[in-house]
Amino acid sequence: MRAQTTSSRFRALLNLKATSMSVNINNNVLLLQPFSFEDTIQYLKNAADTKNLIFGKIIHAHLITSSQLNEQSNNVVLMNSLINFYSKCGEIRVAQNLFDEMPQRNIVSWSSLMMGFLQTGGGFQVLKLFRNMGLVDGIRPNEYILSTALSACKGMLFEGQQCHCLGLKSGLVFYQYVKNALVRMYSMCSDLGGAMGVLYSIPGSDIVTYNSIISGLLDHGYMNEALGVLNRIVAEYKAWDEVTYINIFALCARIKDANMGMQVHNHLLKNSGEFGFYVTSSLMDMYGKCGKISYARKVFDSLNTRNVGSWTTIMAAYLQNDCFEETLSLFLDMELEDVEPNDYTFAVVLNASASLSALGYGTSLHAYTEKLGFKGHVIVGNALINMYSKAGFVGHANKVFTEMINRDIISWNSIISAYCHHGLGNEALSLFNDMLAAKIKPNNITFVGVLSACGHLGQVQEGFYYLQQLMNQMGIEPGLEHYTCIVGLLSKAGLLLEAENFIRFTLVNWDVVAWRTLLNACHVHKNYDLGKQIANIVLQMYPDDVGTYTLLSNMHAKAKRWDGVANIRKLMRERNIKKEPGLSWTEIRNNTCVFVSDDKSHPELKQIHEKVKDLLNKITLLGYVPDIATVFHDVEAEQKEEYLSFHSEKLAIAYALLKTPPDAPIRVIKNLRMCSDCHSAIKLISKVTNRLIIVRDVNRFHSFRDGNCSCQDYW
């Protein structure tokens, strides 16, 4: 009686698809009567589908104790079910043992074990089984087994081609299933020519074939070919599935074609009544990447239900469009709707606060990630490194990096570039060596960091060694960014003519950045003649570049060529180029305070100006002389000094000194390149006030401490 009650409970539980094991099943189970054959098969299937290992093992044990496995007639089918169950639960060894013990096997036995190996990443074993199937049991493959074998050929093109041949000989290629597997196989082996060959040579493609080929082409960057296939889909298929839409939106995003994206969006609205989260996310992502943020927002606002994924997608779209405040404000909206953020959400908002250099906000986000248990998540760690680095706290960034349990290539690249941005070349190179020692393969971004580290250290030979030898050894093709680093390296070392020749004789499609780097170097190294030539090249490429006019004018002024200064002023008036106003901002107790040089509206202006004058008096005692040559105005010397004194970064620093405790570091962000007068003044201010002052200007970080700057006067 007791056994029967337990039995009915047990059966009820099995019928619940064995999803929960909360009911304690004791030895009574073993006393149960044998299940019917059909029930057993169904139970094992349920256990396999729900990956409920304990449950399936109980059934297995029951089969053994009730001697059902010995009945010859059903043995193969039962054993196949068991192999399928253990395979799906990842217990591939048990599955293999059962398979080996079988006196008699059929095609399903082979395919179940092959599927098991395929799911656990054992592609090589799958192919071995595929070969042995005929040799050992004399079984010919069917279309499903051939597809499984093709799926196992990831990265094994030769084996994949052999399977392709076998499919041709046996005629199995004409099964849609096999054709699709072939397209997938060639894509996975990065042989898109092979994939296209299959698409066009074997008749009959369905939407799955087209989905596979488009996603393969997208993954490998063949945009034109993807567009060609898209045209065929448009011509041949009315009924697209969700994957088709996702792929095509991804294509529009990659080629930044918002018009095409809108047409596909219309197609979606006309042809599909309902579409799921992934489609709407790819749609928002597409509009975001095409710079149509308001369209992305419309899609988001029209959603009936929004999960954390949809919120994160729209925030990421705002982030991509440099709308950092909106990203953070959406995060607050999401919190109000009680949607819990995930690691991707944190990565997005941390990057937004990094771009705003909102340290206060970033720090509270950091605490929040730890509270929700995301400390070990790589993407969160990477975003934290970026946030602290951009806020000027490379030490904090390094702490996050050292405490990371898991790191990926992005973590290494982020910390290396963080040290570079702070001018700490030795630290960056030492991390690069740690990376090599940890057997992490660097990529092209890593080398941008390494080469700029060499630049900071003035290590010209080492830089060329990395570019010409190490990158080659590691199979990384140098690109424009690396060559630009070399221009920076030569420029910094004062090898200006070498830098110019390097640009002229290196066959790469140079952009304005390299020339501007050289121009900057001519200014710093006081080679004004070359500087003027280079400035003309920059202005030909980019006639509105205010920074170049400023540098050019400075160079004329320093060479005491006042007619040159006047000419440039005239040129700027003619071309209607206005000097961007200098802006600096600093964060005091989570409030961002913005300063403009000639702004008279600040309520505490009087105190701030007094503080600046007080600081200038103190540093004059240390030998500070205002560098009036850099002033851009046509005014008398005394007034020039006045203009210089109230450059926005000086105002911001004075204000921060008034408002923060005596030992707190001061952080200021400036929208333009810092002028050399401010630079030498701030060096001395850091000395007289005994403060760490970090200024991020448009080029780099300057860490002023005890009278020195981390840039070593090169920026």
> Which residues from 319-378 bind Zn ion, rule CB under 5 A?
none
Calculate the alpha carbon distances from 421 to 87, 142, 158, 355 in Å: 50, 59, 45, 14
Closest distance of CB 374 from Zn ion, Å:
35
Q: Which is nearer to Zn ion, 127 or 674 (CB)?
A: 674
- Rule CB under 5 A: choose which of 14, 675, 682, 694 binds Zn ion: 675
CB of residue 675 to Zn ion, shortest distance in Å: 3
Looking at the Cβ atoms of 462 and 641, the one nearer to Zn ion is 641
681 contributes a contact to Zn ion by CB under 5 A: no
Q: Least CB distance from residue 524 to Zn ion, whole Å?
A: 11
Closest approach of Zn ion to the CB of residue 329, in Å: 33
592 three-class SS: strand
For helices 277-289 and 242-255, angle between their N-to-C axes, nearest 10 degrees: 10
Using CA atoms, how far apart are residues 220 and 214, in angstroms rounded to an integer? 10
Q: Which range touches Zn ion (CB under 5 A), out of 88-96, 264-272, 306-314, 704-712?
A: 704-712
- What is the pattern of x (binds Zn ion, CB under 5 A) and - over residues 592-631? ----------------------------------------
Q: Which H or E element spans position 315? A: helix 308-320
Binding of Zn ion by 709 (CB under 5 A): yes
Alpha-carbon distance 240 to 73, whole Å? 46
User: Which of 51/613 has CB closer to Zn ion?
Assistant: 613
Q: Is 17 exposed, middle or buried (0-12, 13-18, 19+ CB in 10 A)?
A: middle
Span of 61-69, 115-123, 573-581, 670-678 interacting with Zn ion by CB under 5 A: 670-678
Residues from 683 through 702 that contact Zn ion (CB under 5 A)? 702
Tokens of 359: 């340290």
Binding Zn ion by CB under 5 A: which of 18, 182, 657, 711?
Answer: 711
Pick the stretch among 156-164, 389-397, 538-546, 668-676 that binds Zn ion (CB under 5 A): 668-676
CB nearer to Zn ion: give 346 or 715. 715
Burial of 169 (0-12, 13-18, 19+ CB in 10 A): exposed
Smallest distance from Zn ion to CB 602, Å: 18
| Candidates 24-32, 176-184, 372-380, 678-686; binding stretch for Zn ion (CB under 5 A) | 678-686
Q: Closest separation between CB of residue 521 and Zn ion, Å?
A: 15
| Residue closer to Zn ion (CB basis): 280 or 553 | 553
Nearer to Zn ion, 492 or 647 (CB): 647
The structure tokens 């003619």 sit at 574
Smallest gap from residue 470 Cβ to Zn ion (A): 30
Please give the C-alpha separations between residue 243 and each of 202, 221, 312, in angstroms, as whole numbers. Answer: 22, 18, 20
Stretch that binds Zn ion, among 47-55, 333-341, 619-627, 671-679 (CB under 5 A): 671-679
Q: In the bound complex, what is the minimum distance in angstroms from residue 290's beta carbon to Zn ion? A: 38
Nearest distance, CB of residue 695 and Zn ion, angstroms: 8
* Strand pairing class (666-670; 701-705): unpaired
- Of the ranges 15-23, 34-42, 72-80, 707-715, which one interacts with Zn ion (CB under 5 A)? 707-715
Q: Which is nearer to Zn ion, 215 or 550 (CB)?
A: 550
Distance of CA 375 to the CA centre of its chain: 18
d(CA 456, CA 562): 34
Q: Measured between alpha carbons, how far is 68 from 62 in angstroms, rounded to an integer?
A: 8
82 binds Zn ion (CB under 5 A): no
Report the phi/psi class of residue 494: left, alpha or beta, with left for phi > 0 and alpha for psi in -120 to 50.
Answer: left
Distance in angstroms (rounded) separating the CA atoms of residues 254 and 258: 10
How many positions of this chain bind Zn ion (CB under 5 A)? 6
Of 657 and 675, the one with the shorter C-beta distance to Zn ion is 675
194/392 with CB nearer Zn ion: 392
Contact between residue 655 and residue 697 where contact means Cβ atoms under 8 Å apart: no
Of positions 60, 647, 667, 670, contacts Zn ion by CB under 5 A: 647
Rounded distance between C-alpha atoms, residue 392 and residue 362, angstroms: 12
What contacts 590, CB < 8 A, 6 or more positions away? 360, 361
* Partners of 708 in the β-ladder: 705
678 scored as a contact of Zn ion (CB under 5 A): yes
Residue 642 φ then ψ, to 5°: -60, -45
d(CA 109, CA 95): 10
Q: Which residues bind Zn ion (CB under 5 A)?
A: 647, 675, 678, 702, 709, 711
